[in-house]
Each structure stands twice: as C-alpha cells, then as structure tokens.
Amino acid sequence: MIDSLAIHIAGLRKLYGSGHLALAGVDLDVHAGEFFGLLGPNGAGKSSLINILAGTVRRSSGVAEIFGFDVEQDFRRSRRLLGVVPQELAYDPFFTVREFLRMQSGYFGLRHNDDWLDELMAELDLTDKADTNLRALSGGMKRRVLIAQALVHKPPVVVLDEPTAGVDVELRQGLWRFMRRYNEEGHTVILTTHYLEEAEELCQRIAILQQGRLVALDNKDELLRSTGWRVLTVTFDHDPGTLPPELADLLTGAAENTRVLRIDAQSNPLGDVLIRLQALPAQIVDLHLQEPRLEDAFTDILGQGR
C-alpha cells in the first residue's frame, strides 16, 4: 500500500565539510496530491533539502522518505517516484530533444513511451523542436526540455526548483496550466520560487525555511491571516497637505490627492485611522483596503525569525 505521505522528513540535518549547517533538524510532511510551496531566501536550505530527496547530496542525519522509501536505503525505488526540474540548465548538447527524452526514459527502464513523450512535447510547445539539437535551442526552450525530462517516467512527486526563473510569460502560464492538471490527476507537486505570487496562486500549503530551520508551515490562508498588516489607499477631493504624525508614521506612498498607508490592525485599528483621516481638511472620495499578500506574510515571518 502506498503511503499517504508523499514526503516525510524528520530531524533532517545537513552539515557540509566547510562547517556550514545547511539544514538544522527540519521536520516536514507533504501529503500525497498536494500542491506544496517550499519558500525561503537564498541560503535558507531549500536546495540542500531537494538534493537530499533526489539522492545527489547525502544527509548528515535524520529521516527523508518518498512514499515511505528511504532516499538512501531505498534509493532506486524512491528515485523512480520523484522528478526534479533543477534550477541549472544542465543538458547533453549532442542529442536532439526526442533523443534526449528517450535516453532519460531509458534510465528508468522505460521503452516505447513515445506517446507520453509526444504529449509532453505538445504541452510544453516543443513539438516542432523534437528533432532539433539541444545546443541550438534558446534558454527558454532548454528550460522546457528540462521540465519534460523530469516527467518522462510520470513520477507521482515532482519538484519544481525555480522553474520559471528567466523564462517568458507564455512559458510560465503554459507550465502552470500543465502542472495544475498534473496535480489534479493526483500527483504531488512541490514548488520553490522567488515569485511569491506564483506560490500564492498555486499552493495549498506552504513551508518557509530560514537559515536551515523551518520557521513556518501552514495552510496558505492561515499564513495570510497571521499578518496584521493591511494597505489602505485613500483618495481625497484635493491635496490634504501634511499628515499629522500619527498618520505620517503609517505613510508608504503619496501621489497628488492620494495617500497610501500601511496599517497594523493591532496597534492602529482601522476605525481609529479612518476617524483621523476624516478629520483632515480634505474630503475622502475613495477608499481601498488591500488584504495581505503572501509577500507580506513572508516578510513578517522572516523578520520574526531573525
């Protein structure tokens, strides 16, 4: 019976020979069928964690399993369950796209899977490049090939490590349509990205790493609710002039008759702020309150973790 946990990580540590502690005892479970976000600043430990799952880096201690198979003790079985789209454009320049994907299929003992390869190439807009040598492709096209490479064996778990870094909007949108469908068919997708709007739109649960430690793990909506900040945009019928200190401290932007305030609901309740705004010598003609975005929650959580 397949484990309901796609990924199980417990007490995971990675200490490199240089003395750098990349992972300092991470506990993390990803459920089968989730679209999961793994976020964090550069150097947080995301790549080390992914490389341990992929078997390219050995852990120092702890547990790392894919559907119940240990990534080191059951390497072959765990690796067949995982597909990784790496950050780096690593490819063999001596093959065409189709030859490269067939060769990758062979690593997993797969033959005669051209129907699936054709589907992958069609989804990633690579069909007309099937017989083109890899070294002749643009950077964006090479990125598409790496995505197809990770999926040749239809893995139940896919890790997308910054898959849209440096790619055009068309590829980005096409990739997300494809990965949504792949996820809806029951596959688990783990996304790392610096484009937080992507994680906010796609992911159901999100983990945030900082300096090798897990500083947040929750449902996306709960993370958004955890930040008390709201952005209030106020437009007046004419320039309200200099704001009093209690409002000026909240000011983050100004243009003609508009003022933008960043409000902490705990220290500055919205009702109190509105009373102060109404007391200004200009009449309010429009108000817009922006709910927090994942970027706000991300910034707040990292600030608390310092």
Tens of pLDDT, residue by residue, the chain (306 residues): 345 899 999 999 999 988 999 999 999 999 999 999 999 998 899 999 999 999 999 999 999 999 999 999 999 999 999 999 887 766 677 899 999 999 989 888 888 889 999 999 998 889 999 999 998 988 888 888 988 999 999 999 999 988 877 677 877 888 888 899 999 999 999 999 888 888 989 999 999 999 999 999 999 888 877 776 788 999 999 999 889 998 998 998 888 899 999 887 667 788 889 999 999 999 999 998 887 778 777 787 777 755
Return the half-sphere exposure (C-beta side, CA atoms, 13 A cut-off) of residue 185: 11
Residue 299: other Cβ atoms inside 10 A: 15
The whole-number pLDDT of residue 265 equals: 67
Q: First vs last Cα of the chain: how many Å apart?
A: 42
Q: Which residue has the tokens 């702020």?
A: 273
In a shared domain, residues 66 and 201: yes
In a shared domain, residues 136 and 17: yes
Q: Which of 224, 247, 268 is the last residue of a domain?
A: 224
In a shared domain, residues 278 and 173: no
Residue 13 in tokens: 């540590």
DSSP state of 236: E
In a shared domain, residues 179 and 279: no
Q: Which of 179, 195, 224 is the last residue of a domain?
A: 224
In a shared domain, residues 193 and 46: yes
- CB 147, CB 163: distance < 8 Å: yes
In a shared domain, residues 42 and 175: yes
In a shared domain, residues 218 and 233: no
The SS3 assignment for 54 reads: helix
The whole-number pLDDT of residue 3 equals: 52
CA distances from 130 to 113, 141, 144 (A): 15, 11, 12
Please state the domain count of the chain.
Answer: 2
Q: Which of 178, 200, 224 is the last residue of a domain?
A: 224
CATH label of the domain that carries residue 273: 3.30.70
Q: Which domain holds residue 254?
A: 228-291
Return the half-sphere exposure (C-beta side, CA atoms, 13 A cut-off) of residue 270: 13
In a shared domain, residues 198 and 263: no
Backbone angles phi, psi at 138, to 5 degrees: -70, 170
Beta-bridge partners for 29: 8
The whole-number pLDDT of residue 293 equals: 77
User: How far is CA 294 from its chain centroid?
Assistant: 11
Classify residue 66 by burial, with Cβ atoms within 10 Å: 0-12, 13-18, 19+: buried
Q: Which residue has the tokens 């009093």?
A: 244
Q: What is the pTM of this model?
A: 0.80
**Amino acid at residue number 128:** D
